[in-house]
Amino acid sequence: MIGMGLKDGLLSESLAHDRRVAEAKRLVLEAMAEHQSRLVGVKPADERLKASYEQAIQKFNRLRGGALYYPYLGSGFGKGALVELADGSVKYDFITGIGVHCWGHGHPEMVAAALEAALSGTIMQGNLQQDVRSAALVQTLVEAAQEGGSRLEHCVLTTSGAMANENALKILMQKRWPASRVLAFEGCFAGRTLALSQITDKPGYRVGLPTTVAVDYVPFFDAQRPGESTQRALAALRRHVERYPGAHAAMCFELVQGEGGYHVGDRAFFVALMEELRTRRVPIMIDEVQTFGRTTRLFAFQHFGLGPYVDVVTIGKLSQVCATLFTDEMTPQPGLISQTFTGGTAGIQAARVIVEGLLRRGYFGPQGKIAQLHGHFAGRLQAIGERHPGVLSGPFGLGAMVAFTPFDGTPETAKRVAQALFEAGVIGFTAGAHPARVRFLIPVGAVTTEDIDAVCAIVEKTLVEMKGQGGPSGWC
Ligand SMILES: Cc1ncc(COP(=O)(O)O)c(C=O)c1O
């Protein structure tokens, strides 16, 4: 039974081991693999489906009250890094729902997890009634988080990265009451709730919203000027805490800025800030909603060796279900943190398969699968830049977060390149603004070096064609 030391002999166990269930699972996986064998590479839309697909997209845009970023409607079928759209086209999914589908599409382990979850009797799990899967996942996450010397002891599950961050903020503010200000990095992204849109450093995302939380920004690490940027950040931090003595409930850290443009931080930089925060008794919150499972360790704070400093950590995306982890000192008062849903049962089941898979199958470490995939992808992108000067700079990022700056790096150019790649069969996304980048969140549990080579061939062809049209100055 799912790792909680519970005894066998339960009806749930006898159902799970019923030979008809095992046979049904085997048949589903066999059928899936058979159909997947016909999915072999990028494919254009089926002419017969084009018109109805376009209509379906228009209708969806209307119903949701705004246009989709891409004309993307998945058919619900895929294989590894390849995904089939409802117009019959097949594309490389190198953004994976912005970091969610880390095992790719139609992975047998994910299908099996969903089938097992289907036997659980309920679609959703919640705070009042959770089953053994939730308890097992929480145990796995806390044990993994303690490696590397963190004092994290508790973990509450939730439905989104934003809710994990909201819960973190509430925990920190309650603990530090009446401190109500927050420190954060310039260019950070924390989510889009009323509170988090104040922290997210993107004025466009808070147009028309009331000011709910006062935020003081500190400049992020600059890899070109490590020492200088550390001094600049420390000076800003000191200015803020001295201007508002005792008023800061926490500083939020994003160790690799995701939406902000794949800027990678640095241990010495973080340690300098964290030591200062400790001296001034300001708690440290790490937002790992995008970085979780993507560096050389399960948690990016472990990659950067920051375990002893962390008070509260949030995770999301790749973990399928989101979570807020915290030290014993940070334990909130009863009633502060609760929700009807903590997550879908299938997501919770899959989360444990993913986390255990990442931890036990050689993904981490300086030579682990993630580092190797990064090296391969980054090497191919760099070679494109060398073969075709001016089409891209970079690559940037860390581990399973990879990006490049296309052409002049304006947001319009990055968007145009992302859209052109989509048309050509590669789904990426943009990040950052000055410069803006095209980024990829690769499906680490499914992607192969052959997939990366195929994607890079499309990237190269697309960029060369766009250069042939005169580059950004020729497009307007
Ligand atoms: C660092 C970070 N924090 C928080 C969030 C918000 O997560 P969600 O979109 O699941 O609410 C994101 C989403 O992109 C993120 O990248």
Q: Return the residue whose CA atom lies nearest to atom 3 of ligand 1.
A: 190
pTM comes to 0.96
Q: Residue 34: CB partners within 8 Å, gap ≥ 6?
A: none
pLDDT computed for residue 5 by the predictor: 54
* Spatial separation of the C-alpha atoms in residues 324 and 287, rounded to whole Å: 9
Cβ neighbours around 400 below 10 Å, total? 27
Ligand 1 pocket mutation, candidates 100, 157, 189, criterion most atoms within 8 A of CB: 189
Q: What is the DSSP string of 52-108?
A: HHHHHHHHHHHHHTS--SS---EEEEEEBTEEEETTS-EEEESSHHHHT-TT-BS-H
50 CA distance to ligand 1 middle (Å): 33
289 CA distance to ligand 1 middle (Å): 5
* Spatial separation of the C-alpha atoms in residues 296 and 362, rounded to whole Å: 10
314 CA distance to ligand 1 middle (Å): 10
pLDDT computed for residue 123 by the predictor: 96
316 CA distance to ligand 1 middle (Å): 7
pLDDT computed for residue 473 by the predictor: 86
158 CA distance to ligand 1 middle (Å): 13
**Ligand 1 pocket check for 187: Cβ under 6 Å:** no
Q: What is the pLDDT of residues 411-424, one digit of tens each?
A: 999 999 999 999 99
Ligand 1 pocket mutation, candidates 96, 205, 317, 429, criterion most atoms within 8 A of CB: 317
**Ligand 1 pocket check for 190: Cβ under 6 Å:** yes
* Spatial separation of the C-alpha atoms in residues 166 and 370, rounded to whole Å: 30
* Spatial separation of the C-alpha atoms in residues 354 and 320, rounded to whole Å: 9
Report the chain's mean pLDDT, rounded to a whole number: 96
Residue 80: phi and psi, rounded to 5, are 60, -125
Tokens of 415: 């968007």
pLDDT computed for residue 1 by the predictor: 44
Q: Point out which residues pair with 257 in neighbouring strands.
A: 263
* Spatial separation of the C-alpha atoms in residues 271 and 34, rounded to whole Å: 52
Instruction: Evaluate the omega torsion of the peptide bond into residue 435 and state whether it is cis, within 30 degrees of 0.
Output: yes
pLDDT computed for residue 31 by the predictor: 98
Cβ neighbours around 219 below 10 Å, total? 15
Domains of the chain: 124-360 (3.40.640.10), 369-475 (3.90.1150.10)
Ligand 1 atom at shortest distance from the alpha carbon of 191: 6
- Residues 306, 286: contact at Cβ < 8 Å? yes
Q: What is the pLDDT of residues 245-265, one digit of tens each?
A: 999 999 999 999 999 999 999
Q: Identity (one letter) of the amino acid at 314?
A: T
Q: Point out which residues pair with 184 in neighbouring strands.
A: 217, 252
- Residues 352, 137: contact at Cβ < 8 Å? yes
**Ligand 1 pocket check for 316: Cβ under 6 Å:** yes
Question: How large is the average pLDDT for residues 419-447?
Answer: 97
Tokens of 444: 């680490």
**Ligand 1 pocket check for 165: Cβ under 6 Å:** yes
Residue 150 has pLDDT above 60, yes or no: yes
Q: Identity (one letter) of the amino acid at 382?
A: Q
**291: helix, coil or strand?**
coil
Ligand 1 atom at shortest distance from the alpha carbon of 160: 10
Q: What is the DSSP string of 97-164?
A: HHHT-TT-BS-HHHHHHHHHHHTTS-SEE-SSS--HHHHHHHHHHHHHHHTTS--EEEEEEESSHHHH
Q: Return the residue whose CA atom lies nearest to atom 7 of ligand 1.
A: 161
Question: How large is the average pLDDT for residues 119-123?
Answer: 94
Q: What confidence category does residue 7 fall into, taking pLDDT thresholds of 50, 70 and 90?
A: low
Ligand 1 pocket mutation, candidates 201, 286, 290, 339, criterion most atoms within 8 A of CB: 290
For residue 40, CA distances in Å to 82, 295, 412, 446 come to: 8, 29, 33, 14
Q: What is the pLDDT of residues 40-96, one digit of tens each?
A: 999 999 999 999 999 999 999 999 999 999 999 999 999 999 999 999 999 999 999
Residue 112 buriedness (CB in 10 A; 0-12 / 13-18 / 19+): middle
Residue 468 has pLDDT above 90, yes or no: yes
Q: What is the pLDDT of residues 325-368, one digit of tens each?
A: 999 999 999 999 999 999 999 999 999 999 999 999 999 999 99
**Ligand 1 pocket check for 285: Cβ under 6 Å:** no
Q: Return the residue whose CA atom lies nearest to atom 8 of ligand 1.
A: 161
Q: What is the pLDDT of residues 181-233, one digit of tens each?
A: 999 999 999 999 999 999 999 999 999 999 999 999 999 999 999 999 999 99
256 CA distance to ligand 1 middle (Å): 13
**Ligand 1 pocket check for 120: Cβ under 6 Å:** no
161 CA distance to ligand 1 middle (Å): 5
Ligand 1 atom at shortest distance from the alpha carbon of 290: 16
Cβ neighbours around 418 below 10 Å, total? 23
**Ligand 1 pocket check for 435: Cβ under 6 Å:** no
Residue 172 has pLDDT above 50, yes or no: yes
Q: What confidence category does residue 8 fall into, taking pLDDT thresholds of 50, 70 and 90?
A: low
Q: Identity (one letter) of the amino acid at 66?
A: G
Residue 368: phi and psi, rounded to 5, are -70, 175
Q: What is the pLDDT of residues 392-412, one digit of tens each?
A: 999 999 999 999 999 999 999
Q: Return the residue whose CA atom lies nearest to atom 10 of ligand 1.
A: 161
472 CA distance to ligand 1 middle (Å): 30
Q: What is the pLDDT of residues 297-336, one digit of tens each?
A: 999 999 999 999 999 999 999 999 999 999 999 999 999 9
Residue 4 has pLDDT above 80, yes or no: no
Q: Return the residue whose CA atom lies nearest to atom 9 of ligand 1.
A: 161
